[in-house]
Structure 1
Amino acid sequence: MTTSIPPGDWLGYIAATLTTVAFIPQAWRTWRTRDTRALSLGMYLVFTVGVAFWLGYGLALGAWPIIVSNAITLPLAGTILILKLRHG
């Protein structure tokens, strides 16, 4: 028996992939340079908490596009937030 992805989930997988991949260069640059002066602490604090809630929401729904993308984005955003707190 083969399993297929419901048509609407393809949109979720594409959106999740694009938004997660788009975040990687910022995380990489911040990790490499430790330069967080231009980043807003308030924005990253709210964003990271929001991503954690999206992950929880995805888990509650069993929605894999939401789960996977936010499980990847949460540590990236959390790392940037920690670097911002440490390096201002």
Structure 2
Amino acid sequence: MDSYIEIIGFVAAFLTTAAFLPQVYKTWKTKDVTGLSLPMLAMFFVGILAWLVYGLLKDSPSLIFANSITLVSSFILVYFKIKYHNK
């Protein structure tokens, strides 16, 4: 039963993480950050960090996988928002 639960977790992890990556790519290519809110990105980053810690404490591979990738992606968006805010 636990393996089915973890499979559902990996499917959810893949979909939610994959859905976020096009925004990172688009921002990287266009350097347009006008539609990105720095406070939202900061709260999202901290929330994902908390989910990653939770996943580590629960020893959940799907949570660790998804939130590790999303943490890096959200950090990149924060970086782009700061770097390109005047362009």
Taking structure 1 as the reference length, the TM-score comes to: 0.90
Q: Deviations over 1:12-63 (max 9, x none)?
A: 1110000000001000011111110111111111001111111111111110
Are 1:61 and 2:58 matched, yes or no? Answer: yes
Identify unmatched segments of 5+ residues in structure 1. Answer: none
* Separation of aligned partners in 2, 1:52 and 1:32: 26
Q: CA RMSD for the aligned pairs?
A: 1.4
Q: From 67, 72, 78, give the equivalent of 1:70.
A: 67
Runs of 4+ in structure 1 displaced over 6 angstroms? Answer: none
Taking structure 2 as the reference length, the TM-score comes to: 0.91
Q: CA deviation at 1:78?
A: 0.3
- What is the match of residue 24 of structure 2? 27
* Number of equivalent positions: 85
* Separation of aligned partners in 1, 2:72 and 2:5: 27
* Separation of aligned partners in 2, 1:67 and 1:84: 25
* Separation of aligned partners in 1, 2:7 and 2:45: 25
Query: Identity over the aligned pairs, expressed in percent?
Result: 38
* Separation of aligned partners in 2, 1:43 and 1:62: 28
- What is the match of residue 84 of structure 1? 81
Q: CA deviation at 1:77?
A: 0.5
- What is the match of residue 49 of structure 2? 52
Secondary structure (helix, strand or coil) at the match of 2:33 reads coil
Identify unmatched segments of 5+ residues in structure 2. Answer: none
